[in-house]
């Protein structure tokens, strides 16, 4: 059981934090992250900003065109562009 690490480097902590934003981190990873956050001020700040970013984006309800729609739009547009340049 010596392979289980309680203390992780900052890069790993940030990676877990990124995963948490998309609800992809496991419980164990989250526990380890929180232990890291107890003693690491830099990562605490990063986690705070990261969580805030997720909240802001969720709140703003920004929308994007999906890929299919963009592609059809592009096709139509290129047709028009050709017609125009001729």
Partner 1 sequence: MPNHQINPNQWIDLYSDYLYNYTITRVSDKEIAQDLVQDTFLAGLKSMKNFKGEASERTWLISILKRKIIDHYRKINSNKGKAEVRISYNNDSETEGDWLEERVADPFDKTAEDTMQNSELGDTIHNCLGKLPKKQADVFKMKTIQGFETEVICNELSITASNLWVIIHRARTAMADCLKENWF
Please name which of 27, 14, 22 lies closest in space to residue 58, comparing C-alpha atoms: 22
Total binding residues for partner 1 by CB under 8 A?
Answer: 32
Task: Note whether 42 binds partner 1 by CB under 8 A.
Answer: no
CB-based contact 40:10 (threshold 8 Å): yes
Task: Note whether 56 binds partner 1 by CB under 8 A.
Answer: yes
Q: What angle do CA 17, 22, 23 make, to 5 degrees?
A: 85
Task: Note whether 14 binds partner 1 by CB under 8 A.
Answer: yes
Closest distance between partner 1 and the C-beta of residue 3, in Å? 20
Q: Which residues bind partner 1 (CB under 8 A)?
A: 14-15, 18-19, 21-22, 24, 46, 49-50, 52-54, 56-57, 59-66, 69-70, 73-74, 76-77, 80-81, 84
């Amino acid at each position: 059981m010596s392979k289980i690490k309680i203390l992780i480097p900052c890069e790993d902590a940030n990676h877990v934090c990124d995963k948490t934003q998309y609800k992809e981190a496991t419980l164990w990873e989250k526990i380890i992250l929180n232990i890291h956050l107890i003693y690491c001020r830099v990562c605490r700040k990063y986690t705070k900003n990261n969580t805030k970013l997720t909240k802001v984006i969720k709140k703003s309800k920004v929308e994007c065109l999906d890929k299919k729609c963009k592609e059809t739009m592009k096709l139509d547009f290129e047709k028009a562009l050709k017609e125009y340049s001729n």
